[in-house]
Amino acid sequence: MVHKITRYSVLLFMLVPLLTWTVARGADRVALARWNTEDSAIIILENVLGRENDPGSGAEGDWETERVQIRITYRNGPFEGTTEDIEILQLADSRLELVPGREYLFLVDTFDDGTHQYSISDRYRIPAVAGFITLACAALAVLAGKAGVKALCGLFLSLFLLLGWFVPKLAEGYTPVPFAILAIAGVSILTIVFVVPKRVLWPIPFIGAVGGAIAASITGWTMVGLWQLTGLENDSAVLLFSVAPHLELRGLLLAAVMVGAIGAVLDVAVSVTSSMAELYSYDPSIPLRRLWRAGINVGSDVLGSMINTLILAYLGSSLPFVVLISMEGPDVIALLNDPHIAQEILRSVAGTVGLLLTIPVTAGAGVWWIARSYIPEEKTSDEELAD
C-alpha cells in the first residue's frame, strides 16, 4: 500500500508541472493568434543599447522623458520573427524595468503627418498568469481531492455567472441592487451544491446567505442615503461615469458591497448548517431550542474571524490610499468625513451587519428545516458499539 501511494504521489507531482506548462503555452498561442497587431505587437527585448534624456521634456511642469535604443524581436504581426533596432520614448522615472530576454507589449502611435512614435507599455504576462492559476488549481485538486475539485467547479461557475451575466447587465444600465441579489442567489446555489454534500441541507445555507446579503444591502442603502455618498469616491468610478454617465453609481456601490461580502456570508451559513446537522445526526431527540442555541454559538465563534477577513480585505484593497493618508499626517475628524474613508466604512459596516444577521437567519432556517425534512443517517455498528 505504501508503495502504491508513493508512486501515485510521484505521478501527480510530475503531472502538475506538465499541466501548468501546457496551459501556459496554450494561453500564449491563443494570445498571439488573437492579438490585434494594427498598432501593437508582442516582442522579445533582446538588448538595451543606450539611453538619453529627451531634450524637449521636463519644461514648464511637463513629465521628463527619455529615449531608449533597444533591439527587439517581433513575436507576431507582419514582422513576426524579425529583429530590429528601434528607439522608444518613455518616462524617465518609469517603473517598468526593461530586462533583456523578457517579453513586452510594443505600441506604435501614428500621427497625422505620418510619423511614428514607439513605446513599450507593459510586460507581457498572459502565459505566466495562466500558468500560475493552473498551478494553484491543480495543487488544490491534488491536495484536497474530490472536495477541492468541487470547490473549483463552484468557483469557476460563480465567476462565469458574475462576469458573463451580472456584469454585462450592469453595463447595459440595469438597476444594480436587484440584479446583485439575483447574482448572489445564483452564486449561493452554485457554491452550496458543490460544497455541501447532503442535498437535503441545501435550502438552509441558501436562506441564510441570501438573508445576510439582503441585510447588507438594506444597511448599505440606509448609509448611502444618510451620508449622501455619490458612488464617485474613487478614480475608477469617476472614469466609469465619464464613459457611461447613464449608470447608477450608487447602486453599483451597493452591489459591490453585496458581492464582496457573499464569500464570508456563505462561509458562516455553511458552517452553522453543518454544525447543526451534525448535532441532530448524533442526537435526533435534541430539543429545538438547544439546536438553535448551538447554531448561534457556532456562528458567533466563526463570526470573529470572518469579520477580520472582511475588514482586512477591504483595508488591503485600499492600502496605498491608507499609506498616503498616513504620510500626510492623519486628522481623525477629517478622516471620518472623507468620502473615500466613508466608502470603506460603508463596505465594512454593511458587510458586518450582513454577517451578523446571517447567523440567526441560518439558525432559524436550520431549526425549521432539519426538524421538518432532515432524517439523519443511521449509525454504523462500530459507532453504536463506541456509544
pLDDT in tens, 171-200: 888 888 888 888 888 999 998 988 888 888
* Least confident range of 252-256, 296-300, 339-343: 339-343
Q: Which 8-state DSSP code applies to residue 286?
A: -
DSSP symbol at 168:
H
Look at residue 233 and tell me if it is in a domain.
yes
Average pLDDT over residues 344-369: 87
Domain boundary among 143, 176, 202: 143
Same domain flag for 116 and 242: no
Closest by Cα among 207, 210, 211, 184 to 365: 207
For residue 322, being part of any structural domain is answered with: yes
Global pTM value = 0.73
Decide: helix, strand or coil at residue 101. Answer: coil
Tell me: do 181 and 248 sit in the same domain: yes
3-state SS, residue 125: coil
Instruction: Say yes or no to pLDDT of 5 above 60.
Output: no
Q: 21 by DSSP, 3-state: which?
A: helix
Read off the pLDDT band of 126 (50, 70, 90).
very high
CATH of the domain at 168: 1.20.1640
**Binning pLDDT at 50, 70 and 90, where does residue 104 land?**
very high
Give 60's DSSP letter.
G
Residue 76 shares a structural domain with residue 174: no
What are residue 41's phi and psi, to 5 degrees?
Answer: -160, 160
304-317 tens-digit pLDDT: 777 777 777 777 77
Whether 57 and 126 share a structural domain: yes
pLDDT score recorded for residue 3: 42
Cβ partners under 8 Å of residue 95, min gap 6:
none
Burial 31-43 (b: 16+ CB within 10 A, else e): bbeebebeebbbb
pLDDT band at 345 (very low <50, low <70, confident <90, very high): confident
Distance CA 135, CA 23 (A): 10
> Residues 373-386: pLDDT tens digits?
765 655 444 444 34
Three-state secondary-structure class, residue 135: helix
Residue 26 sits at φ, ψ, to 5 deg, of -65, -40
Could you tell me if 258 and 349 lie in one domain? yes
- Do 358 and 222 lie in a common domain? yes
Phi–psi pair at 123, nearest 5 degrees: -75, 140
Whether 104 and 246 map to the same domain: the answer is: no
pLDDT class of 10 with cuts at 50, 70, 90: low
- In which band, very low, low, confident or very high, does the pLDDT at 37 lie, cut at 50, 70 and 90? confident
Band (238; pLDDT cuts 50, 70, 90): confident
Please report the pLDDT score of residue 102 as a whole number: 93
pLDDT at 331: 65
Total structural domains in the chain?
2
Containing structural domain, residue 357: 145-378
Predicted pLDDT of residue 26: 94
Instruction: Name the residue among 181, 189, 330, 152 with its Cα closest to residue 266.
Output: 189
Last-in-domain residue among 91, 109, 143: 143
